[in-house]
Chain A
């Protein structure tokens, strides 16, 4: 069975360039370098927009975008509510979808019978582009929150479901044999072995689900809604207020980045045994705990 993984940037450590290169001189510390390049780009863009080389309807000037964002967040403050609505849809849909996905996968994984019965439906659902169900759901549930959350839930359901199932079905053979020889019952095999053994794959599924949750919520809002970032973005582009539209886009980028980083941090904590720094910390913590409770 296929395991879905997000392309992770976990192994980035230790890939820095070798010493001695020109760019490694103290003045070109990577951060300094990034800022320099960034400033040059923004400067060129600003000049291009002001001299009319760049059509502001295509790409508004950085200063215009900054001004629009100031308005959105500080003076008019109209973006906050929409942002909150979208975040709410993402969180609720993600939670519901992943609980449903993981829960169903556990039921299916533990029962070969159910697995056989459900398999065709799962395949059909996998083959259907989930977003295409969107208008149908809106027709059924109306324009409000519940339809948005349902769409996000559907978008979020699949990766955790597939990954949990495949993680449970590919449980370590030797460890399974060990549990059997210890006469462990099904519940113990499930809680002490299968679930934890599958945890890295489940987390990868959750990361993917979270990444698609934001897109799902936005598309649902594009289809039909009265509030949310998708609505705001559509409204600004329709009225050709491109600076504000870009402000919304930047905000969404920041939100996506925050979501990615949060999921990464949570994942590293849960699957601590795959991340050396976390593992050291947990090891020390358990040692301290043991010594407190049971002595040296």
Chain B
């Protein structure tokens, strides 16, 4: 892996200290260069921000998340998390996928405890935290249920609690509610917004839905395919807390149109 010097985009000194993820010309190719999944992506993600990634299928959203998580090696550029070059899976990030990937033989709370168990024998505090997190995601009455006894939405809630149990301050969510029906998805989006504000995590959220991306985020990374590129980083100015009605305002729709425009011209 090439270790290029750390490159930080324009910003004042205090800004730099507040950047938790920085990409400098990050690229990823598969099949010995045959497939360019991501090309020359440069970006800064400030601490505590909620960033949405939108773009059509194949534009490299999942690839970017997996690079940040250290699950795959980048082919070029520099990528730092908390100022350290990413060189493999690390403790600063937690990941959540479209499918809940819960372990069927573990109860909800045992699933939530998995991240802790990987590193040490869970203490009484770890255990009560796991139960607390399940309450936080609205599963107070399902602490000891097995995954197959839960609905798809509830399974994703367990996965979210497990993600929070890692204690990571960066949450990478790859279409976490993409397989759920629209009502459930909207509710979970609202709860996700509340929860990440509560724990103060930096969040990267992949979605195909432009409205959802804008509604949740402080910044929207708009990506375009063939090759996967970061087309623009769009700032979302709306104040928090946000209410669903925001999505009916002209300002909101203007921003949706702007993002659609960026995607359309590519």
Taking Cβ atoms with an 8 Å cutoff, the residues of A that contact B are: 172, 174-175, 177-184, 188, 192-193, 196-197, 199, 272-274, 279, 282-284, 286-287, 290, 294
Contacts and interface: CB of A to CB of B under 8 A. Distances in A.
Nearest to A172: B101
Contact of A196 (B70, B94, B103, B119): B103
Nearest to A291: B144
Contacts, number: 72
A178 B95 contact: yes
B134 interface: no
Interface in B178-232: none
B47 interface: no
Given A180-B89, A181-B69, A196 B105 contact: yes
B128 A183 contact: no
A79 B91 CA distance: 65
24 contacts: A172-B101, A174-B97, A177-B71, A177-B95, A179-B118, A180-B71, A181-B69, A181-B89, A181-B95, A182-B89, A182-B118, A183-B91, A196-B105, A273-B104, A273-B146, A283-B144, A283-B146, A283-B149, A286-B107, A286-B144, A287-B143, A290-B144, A294-B124, A294-B127
Contacts of A172: 101
B148 interface: yes
Given A175-B103, A273-B105, A182 B144 contact: no
Nearest to A272: B105
Interface of B: 69-71, 89-91, 93-95, 97, 99, 101, 103-105, 107, 109-110, 114-115, 117-119, 124, 127-128, 143-146, 148-149, 166
A279 B105 CA distance: 9
B91 A174 contact: no
Contact of A279 (B95, B97, B148): B148
A181 B210 CA distance: 28
B128 A175 contact: no
Contacts of A179: 118
B118 A188 contact: yes
Given A183-B90, A184-B118, 16 more contacts: A174-B99, A174-B101, A178-B97, A179-B118, A181-B95, A182-B89, A182-B118, A183-B118, A188-B118, A192-B117, A193-B103, A273-B104, A279-B148, A283-B107, A283-B145, A287-B144
Nearest to A282: B146
Nearest to B172: A181
Nearest to A177: B71
B105 to A, nearest CB: 5
Contacts of B90: 183
Contacts of B114: 182, 192
